[in-house]
Structure 1
C-alpha cells in the first residue's frame, strides 16, 4: 500500500502517544496513509514496534519509543526523538490515557498521581516542548484526546474525570495562547469506542452501540486537513446509537 497522493500531510511529522492500540493506533495508521512520518509512543513495546513496522508500507518513516509518559522526563525525550528522526514536528497527538476505577475511599495517592500524570501532566509537558519546536517551524497542530468524561461524571472515576476535565481546560487555554504563534490546538471529546480500554472496565456495554476508533481517527484527520487559517478548538465525536451523552 502506498501513501495518498497530494495529501497536505505528506512529509509532515507526527508524535502520537498511546499509539500501540485503540484510537492511537488507528490515528497513526490514518496519518501514515496520508504521508506523515510517525513517532509512536506507548508502554506496550512489542505491540508498538509491530505497529510502527506495519506503517512503513505507506512509504513513511515510523519509529517506536516505549516510555512511560507519566514520567516527566519522557516528554522531553519524546520530542527530542521526533526532532532527531524527522528534523521537525508538525503534529502532536496527546492520546495516551489510563484509569483506576475505584471509589475515592479505596484510591491510593499513587493511583491518583499515575492517572493525572498520564492524562494531564504528560500532555502539558509534551505540548510545552512541542510548541517550542512548532514555534521555530512557524506552524503546528496539537490534538488533545479528551472524552465525554470531561463533560459529565460517573462514580468510581474521580481521578479520570479530574484529569479529563483538566485536559479539556488545558486544551482551550493552549488554543487561546498558541494561536498567536500559528499553532492550532484541538480538543477531541470522544464518545465510547470499541477498545479494550473501555470494554475491559465496563463489560456491560454493548459493543455494537460503540464507535470504531477508525471512525474517530477519520474525524480527527479531517480537522488536520483544514486550511491553516482555520481551527476547530473542540470537536465532539459520538457513536450514533450510544445515548449516554448528551
Structure 2
C-alpha cells in the first residue's frame, strides 16, 4: 500500500475558530500561505472579515458563536458551499476568567464551558458528519499546558482544557477507524492578546511567537495518510507553567 505524503495544504479547506486574532489568526495566515482555503470564524465578525482582507486569497470569513449549534451548522455549511468540501477544522476559540472559585459565578462558568468545551464538541460533531461521507478529514484541538497541570484562580479554564484534551483523545479512538484524524496541540504561553491583554506585566521573554504553534498545526495536518499525531506539545524555552 502506497501512503500519500502531502507537501502542502494546497486544495484543502480548513475552518479555524477564533481566527480573528492571536493564535487563530496565525494559524489562518500559515495555512492560507501554504495554499489552503481557510474559513476564518470568530464571534467578532468584524475581526474575522478584517483578517480575511489582510490575508487575501484563499480565505472567507464568518461571524459565529461556537457554543451555538445553529451557528456551527451555518459555518460548516458555509465552508462547504464556498470551497466545495471541508477537510479539517481547528478548534482554537477559547476564553478565560482568572478569579478565585468563590468569585466564579455560574453564568461565567457556563459561558466559558460553552466556548471552550461545548464549542469544540459541536464543531467536531457537525464536521465529522461531512468527513465520514468523504472517508477522511482532520480535527485539530488547541489545548494548553492548562490541560496538564493547574495553577490557582483558573478553575474553569483548567476544567475546560483538561476536558478538551480528553475529548480529543476520545474522538481519536472513535473516529480513526473511519479515516478521520484527531490531534491535540498542547500550546505553551504565547505572545497573543489572550495573555497580553489580561496580564500587562507578564514577562514576554518567557512566551513564544504564536507563529511557531501555527507551524506545528500545519505540520500535524501534513502527516502522511497512514500517520496521525494524537498529541503534541509546543513550549517556549522559558515556559513558566511547565517544568
Task: Give the TM-score category using the shorter length.
Answer: over 0.9
Count of paired positions: 238
- Identify which of 104, 108, 131 aligns with 1:107: 104
**1:28 maps to what in 2?**
28
Is the CA contact (8 Å cut-off) linking 2:66 and 2:123 kept in structure 1? Answer: no
Structure 2 counterpart of 1:136, from 120, 128, 133:
133
Report SS of the residue matched to 1:105. helix
CA distance in structure 1 between the aligned counterparts of 2:16 and 2:188, rounded to whole angstroms = 19
Query: Given the two structures, how large is their TM-score scaled by the length of structure 2?
Result: 0.94
Structure-2 residue corresponding to 1:3: none
Paired with 1:138 and 1:55, the residues of 2 have a C-alpha distance of 30
Q: Distance in 1 between matches of 2:140 and 2:84?
A: 20
- Give the corresponding residue for 2:225: 228
Q: Distance in 2 between matches of 1:187 and 1:163?
A: 14
Return 5+ residue gaps in structure 2 as ranges: 1-5
Higher relative contact order (CA 8 A, sep 6+): 2
Residue equivalent to 1:216: 213
Q: Pairwise mapping of residues 84-163 of structure 1 onto structure 2 (< 5 A)? A: 84-163=81-160
Shift of residue 80, structure 1, vs aligned partner: 1.3
RMSD after superposition: 1.3
Shift of 1:45: 2.2
Aligned partners of 2:197, 2:54: CA distance in 1, in Å? 26
Asked if structure 1 preserves the Cα contact closer than 8 Å seen for 2:17 and 2:24, the reply is yes
User: TM-score, structure 1 length as denominator?
Assistant: 0.93
CA distance in 2, matches of 1:149, 1:241: 16
Q: CA deviation at 1:203?
A: 2.9
In 1, the alpha carbon distance for the partners of 2:83 and 2:157 equals 33
